[in-house]
Structure 1
């Protein structure tokens, strides 16, 4: 063991030498305590033992999130102790305080932000988004050609909306600002239906903005409930009603200018208005019921999980189905019952067969996919939706955040959970004693969502209007692509996983036909089945769900295999020509 006697300046010089390795905690202690003591040794010898216990943040290079957790945001254990000491030992109040502090610290650690309290409900960007490298995307020629086609060919997703008033222009502008994915598919619908769906979307987005704002109604939750309950009957269609101070950015502007939305709404046919108002009332009432529900640890069970998805997405499926029928664009078969039976749908006898079961399965498939993908973001937000009935089968504690610990999602065992290529020795060490309980829970929920696919495909197969088909098909194909990239992927627990932009473009192009939709469901379901670990606790469930999808889609998928090969050849030639032209004229 080497010993070296140094002065304060010499120590700092040695610690600045990048070739020398120092313990992160020693560096913190030197920075926070040793150097101040050293500056006045006489005073330091007279110091009394500290009564407060401090939590320090390490230097930026040692901290997840590039050091975004500053010392100012660190929780002082002494403060927690002081707050707890005022409460009776073993009381529910003391336990609640302790859990609240623990959850706050964990959310801060996971998000890399200064504190979870500052994170706005419903906002994006709270956690890292796992991106694909540009090289990886450019190497996929069919995806590159599809992206170029969607971007530069107007007929890929034509805009059929016609503006005849300033109010319509405002609504269309807000649609483009608040929608990340639906604006293009709404605008390609037949003009009259497009306005029905556009207004329907903006109304629900405004309602959702009120429900999502955790600051405006922080001390007055009943006021929020009143707004949600009154939105459909009192606000929608009232050309003098607007709301300020709620939401952020484009959503805030939408509520400020909601009188324009109401004026356009009032020009729609009575049947369309009835559908939009009815669904808004039902969603508003459902949201009001959840305002006071503690969702910090997810929904209670699988039934409440499904019911929540029905409230925020199944009802949308019902409304869209009724809107298609009201315009006479589709047949009543789309309002029928599927394989899945839902407690929140009317029975076949009560509804005369129009249970809207298929429509609910469509909506639930999309919402369950979003909930699976957004595990970490929702948990950090303090409102999670993974059902406790499911995740507690895999976790060792009663804390949903356990799944985000490296020891739960296979750090050192999964390449995506640890850079084992760059540091194989580190991966071997980290992997000792590590479990994969989080991955097992993830795969169970993916299988649960995949069980809805037969109903979704049945619904799509009943559609007769090309634009309506594409409007419905694109989100469904995007959903199974998202599930495929999330499946068995530890990155779900470290950020938000998304599909490649080029792949999204291919899915948009291919979703113009049922044959293309079947091809992708077949391909992606097969990939999930192939990647399912042999020792996965839900392997039987996963394989059963994927086998059912493959059975339905295989005939059409095999029929399109030749055309796919031709498309690849065309894409290769097209990209080669573009590269040649670039070199000749721009290089």
Structure 2
């Protein structure tokens, strides 16, 4: 591997270590080549997200997203040289050459950020699923290109579907965690049908639920939906090699524990950002590396009880 490519990967790993939080705890379980490739995927995805979440004017954001999409096309067409001045492009191009990464998934991520830019709202869960598949399910499918499936794995043809579903589970957990923060930014992701059902259509602009609402009922309803998605998505684990399975189990395990916290104290998401302490994330990662979580969840998934 050339010095410019190594430097590009090092840059992406630094970005991942500083900004990835939950993601970083999972990918540290991967062998070097896969960890580097996942860091490149993260760094590119982070760039797209930062454009959407930044303070630029909407028309400038749209231009930056178009430029990023054009860069992705150059990567896909093999037009990024190793001495390119953009380390993220260099690393992702190398990773895509080494692994069968479906780069179209990153186009879908850009599509999802464009939805945010356009202020799109969602009437039903089916509507929201389209967004979640763009910003999270697609990343699951992209990641599967790095992980690969075990030769002869039973049902491997459905692996992209399960990776997509696991991404939906993670994204719905994120939406629940960030409900007040998103509301402050003028964004509402939870389906309007669900908000109306539980008297929460007024939105979330403070540390307490809307008057007369059943906010806890809303959260528990969405938690059950997320758990069903996790149960389906975990069917991916038996199809992966040990370290890739450990990585996925660790990342998903962190989000499942986060979901547990939200379920126990629904109004906590209105008072502040709900998160896991670093020691608990590290514990989940160690269990993933040892195979404990992967084996436990794999058995449950095969029985349909994850």
TM-score bracket relative to the smaller structure: 0.7 to 0.9
CA distance in 2, matches of 1:516, 1:548: 12
Provide, for residues 145-168 of structure 1, a one-character-per-residue CA deviation record: whole Å limited to 9, x for no partner.
xxxxxxxxxxxxxxxxx9984333
CA distance in 2, matches of 1:462, 1:199: 23
| Structure 1 position 476 matched with structure 2 position 299 | no
Distance verdict in 2 for CA 1:264–1:335, change over 3 Å = farther
| Structure 1 position 200 matched with structure 2 position 41 | yes
**After the TM superposition, which residues 333-482 of structure 1 pair with which residues of structure 2 at under 5 Å, given as runs?**
333=153, 336=156, 353-354=157-158, 356-395=160-199, 398-401=201-204, 404=206, 406=208, 408=210, 435=212, 437-464=214-241, 466-482=242-258
CA distance in 2, matches of 1:175, 1:221: 22
| Structure 1 position 284 matched with structure 2 position 110 | yes
Helix, strand or coil for the counterpart of 1:511?
helix
1:370 Cα deviation after fit:
1.0
CA distance in 1, matches of 2:277, 2:16: 24
- Aligned partners of 2:5 and 2:94 also within 8 Å: no
Distance verdict in 2 for CA 1:370–1:521, change over 3 Å = farther
Distance verdict in 2 for CA 1:287–1:499, change over 3 Å = closer
- Aligned partners of 2:27 and 2:35 also within 8 Å: yes
Match of 2:130 among 307, 331, 334: 307
Q: Which residue of structure 2 aligns with residue 320 of structure 1? A: 143
Distance verdict in 2 for CA 1:443–1:230, change over 3 Å = same
CA distance in 2, matches of 1:501, 1:260: 29
- Aligned partners of 1:321 and 1:334 also within 8 Å: no
Q: Which residue of structure 2 aligns with residue 174 of structure 1? A: 15
Helix, strand or coil for the counterpart of 2:22?
coil
| Structure 1 position 226 matched with structure 2 position 3 | no
TM-score between the two structures when normalised by the length of structure 1: 0.46
RMSD value over aligned CA atoms? 3.5
Provide, for residues 58-112 of structure 1, a one-character-per-residue CA deviation record: whole Å limited to 9, x for no partner.
xxxxxxxxxxxxxxxxxxxxxxxxxxxxxxxxxxxxxxxxxxxxxxxxxxxxxxx
CA distance in 2, matches of 1:551, 1:184: 27
1:194 Cα deviation after fit:
2.1
Helix, strand or coil for the counterpart of 2:289?
coil
Distance verdict in 2 for CA 1:224–1:289, change over 3 Å = farther
CA distance in 2, matches of 1:516, 1:221: 40
Distance verdict in 2 for CA 1:224–1:278, change over 3 Å = same
TM-score between the two structures when normalised by the length of structure 2: 0.82
Distance verdict in 2 for CA 1:220–1:515, change over 3 Å = closer
1:498 Cα deviation after fit:
2.0
1:239 Cα deviation after fit:
5.4
1:448 Cα deviation after fit:
0.8
Distance verdict in 2 for CA 1:361–1:381, change over 3 Å = same
1:240 Cα deviation after fit:
10
- Aligned partners of 1:443 and 1:488 also within 8 Å: no
CA distance in 2, matches of 1:382, 1:205: 21
CA distance in 2, matches of 1:262, 1:448: 36
Larger Rg: 1
**After the TM superposition, which residues 87-102 of structure 1 pair with which residues of structure 2 at under 5 Å, given as runs?**
none
- Aligned partners of 1:454 and 1:549 also within 8 Å: no
Distance verdict in 2 for CA 1:518–1:276, change over 3 Å = closer
Helix, strand or coil for the counterpart of 1:458?
helix
Q: Which residue of structure 2 aligns with residue 293 of structure 1? A: 119
Distance verdict in 2 for CA 1:304–1:332, change over 3 Å = farther
CA distance in 1, matches of 2:72, 2:53: 17
| Aligned residues between the structures | 301
Provide, for residues 500-527 of structure 1, a one-character-per-residue CA deviation record: whole Å limited to 9, x for no partner.
44433332222235543566899xxxxx
CA distance in 1, matches of 2:4, 2:155: 31
CA distance in 2, matches of 1:494, 1:521: 35
CA distance in 2, matches of 1:334, 1:321: 16
